[in-house]
Structure 1
Amino acid sequence: MDIDDLIAGVIAREGGYSDHPADRGGPTNMGISQAVARANGYYGAMQALPRTLAESLYRRLYWDQPGYGFVAETSWKIAAELFDTAVNMGAATATGFLQRALNALNRNQQDYPDLKVDRLLGARTLGALRAFRALRGASGDAVLLKAIEALQGERYIALAESRPANEAFLYGWLANRIGSS
């Protein structure tokens, strides 16, 4: 599996054109919102958004820019989860979930120092991930993944609680986003 497979999976889950009245993101196609398309130079009809552009945006905005390729060098499973979460919630939120989970799993800083939850993937976060992986091995990925997904699930429920219109999306978010990477 590689980033192309992840992108294809996201596009398959997101589906085609949608303009759901409860979606604050407005019209979307293949999961790319009109706001993201416009911010990246696409001004055509959202129904006609080229798949190649969607693929390019996913790679650049949700893989390359946040640096998840560096995470993949240590743990493909964690990188895949961060990518999928970034697509749905933003890269800063996904990276913040990783930082929070690593902090909670460092056994009161016995394994590595706490991270500042700045929601940016940098050398310290990558170092903590490598230290966690060195201590826990590949089997630790499953636990770290559960922690990230628990934070993600809690956020989805909070979004539905804070804005009842989001309840229209909660079932799909939980069914298609938790454990989907």
Structure 2
Amino acid sequence: MTIDSLIDTVLDREGGYVNHPADRGGETRFGITAAVARANGYGGPMRSFPVEQARALYRRLYWEAPRFDAIADLAPHLAAELFDSGVNMGPAVAAAFLQRALNALNRGATDYPDMPVDGCIGAVTLAALAAFLKRRGAGGEAVLLKAIEALQGERYVALAESRPANEAFLYGWLANRIG
């Protein structure tokens, strides 16, 4: 699994141009919101937003900037989940899920110290992940994936509960984004 294949999957899932009335993000093309496109130099109509620009933004903003590429060196399946969650919820939310899960799985800070849950992957998060994987072995990555998917599912339900318009998306989020 490469970042190119992960981006292909997101592009397939997100489709082309969408402007769903219940989506606070407004217009999107290939899953990129108009706000993100504009903040990164695109000035044209979203219906014409080029797929090459979407690919570049996914790589830069949702893979490299949050350091999911560094996670991939240690746990590629985990990195793929964080990328997909980051596309849907924001990279900082996905990174915070990882940090929360690692803190909860460190056996009272005996395996590695707790870290701040700041949504930023740096040396401390990477060291904790490496220590967790070393301690738990091959099954550790699968357990982290379950923990992150549980946090993700809880967030989706909370979003639907807090804003009834989000109920339009809940089934798809649960069906297509978890597992």
The normalised TM-score by structure 2 is 0.98
Aligned residue for 1:62, secondary structure, equals helix
How far 1:120 sits from its partner (Å)? 0.6
Aligned twin of 1:135: 135
Superposed structure 1 runs of 4+ greater than 2 Å apart: none
Letter aligned with residue 25 of structure 1: G
Aligned counterparts of 1:4 and 1:117: Cα–Cα separation in 2 = 29
Gaps of 5+ in 1: none
> Identity of aligned pairs, percent?
67
How far 1:16 sits from its partner (Å)? 1.1
Aligned counterparts of 2:113 and 2:77: Cα–Cα separation in 1 = 23
Residues 109-124 of structure 1 correspond to what in structure 2 (within 5 A)? 109-124=109-124
Aligned twin of 2:58: 58
How far 1:138 sits from its partner (Å)? 2.0
* Number of residue pairs aligned between Structure 1 and Structure 2: 179
Q: Which range moves more in the overlay, 42-51 or 93-102?
A: 42-51
Aligned twin of 1:178: 178
1:38 aligns with 2:30: no
Letter aligned with residue 69 of structure 2: G
Aligned counterparts of 2:118 and 2:47: Cα–Cα separation in 1 = 36
How far 1:110 sits from its partner (Å)? 1.3
How far 1:43 sits from its partner (Å)? 1.2
Aligned counterparts of 1:37 and 1:119: Cα–Cα separation in 2 = 22
Aligned twin of 1:49: 49
Gaps of 5+ in 2: none
Aligned counterparts of 1:39 and 1:176: Cα–Cα separation in 2 = 28
Q: CA RMSD in A?
A: 0.6
How far 1:139 sits from its partner (Å)? 1.3
Aligned counterparts of 1:76 and 1:154: Cα–Cα separation in 2 = 23
How far 1:45 sits from its partner (Å)? 1.2
Letter aligned with residue 71 of structure 1: I
Letter aligned with residue 86 of structure 2: A
Aligned twin of 1:23: 23
How far 1:119 sits from its partner (Å)? 1.1
The normalised TM-score by structure 1 is 0.97
Aligned residue for 2:17, secondary structure, equals coil
Aligned residue for 1:109, secondary structure, equals coil
Aligned twin of 1:74: 74
1:162 aligns with 2:162: yes
